[in-house]
Chains A and B, each alone.
Chain A
């Protein structure tokens, strides 16, 4: 079964509103989670690294004030898209590293489809 859960799987919001996506590790504690974005027919692009109890590390070109990341506990990271615009419509997917398993095991969530209308 899934070990990383994302919610919601699909969301439609109006332009100008904010939407929050949750990423939960179900069977392990994740001090580090990663947020990716995928444009249609494109690869996954790392947006930011979410660190429990500290500020996220954003990749170059990603607006930190627009894509707010909070990692308040060892099992939950949230991505909030603020003042959403149609160009923010995309597939967002998170992953979490399970350090208790050897071999750098990374689990991905099921992804969240965001449509901004």
Chain B
């Protein structure tokens, strides 16, 4: 079955600094990969997803992620952090016929 590992349960950056949230996956078939954001007491919001085609995926709020098959990674980045980016971020993997599996989540803190 597919699985996801998020490295770092908590990441702290300064406002304006680069955001890098790491995600590695395991899948027996070419995967579909997702990043979701969750603000306190709210549901999930899709940031971006990779299905096929271009390996660099751009999402909402200035985030992007690159699918690297050789590294089985799908790291999330943003060039310049905003205070409003503080939230919990989840990486997820899905195989076409299966359900979605989530990583443990990474809490992003943005310092002024």
Contacts and interface: CB of A to CB of B under 8 A. Distances in A.
Contacts of A42: 104-105
B44 A108 contact: yes
Query: Interface residues of A: mostly helix, strand, loop or mixed?
Result: strand
Contact of B49 (A34, A36, A103, A110): A103
15 contacts: A34-B99, A42-B104, A44-B44, A44-B90, A44-B102, A45-B102, A46-B101, A102-B51, A103-B49, A103-B52, A104-B51, A104-B96, A108-B44, A109-B43, A111-B42
Contacts, number: 44
B94 interface: yes
A36 B43 CA distance: 12
Given A42-B105, A43-B105, A93 B44 contact: yes
Interface string B36-56: 100001111010010110000
Interface residues on B, range: 20 to 34
Contacts of B90: 43-44
Q: Which of A42, A43, A44, A93 has the most CB of B within 10 A?
A: A43
Nearest to A4: B43
Contacts of B49: 103
Interface string B85-112: 0000010001010011111110000000
A49 interface: yes
B43 A95 contact: no
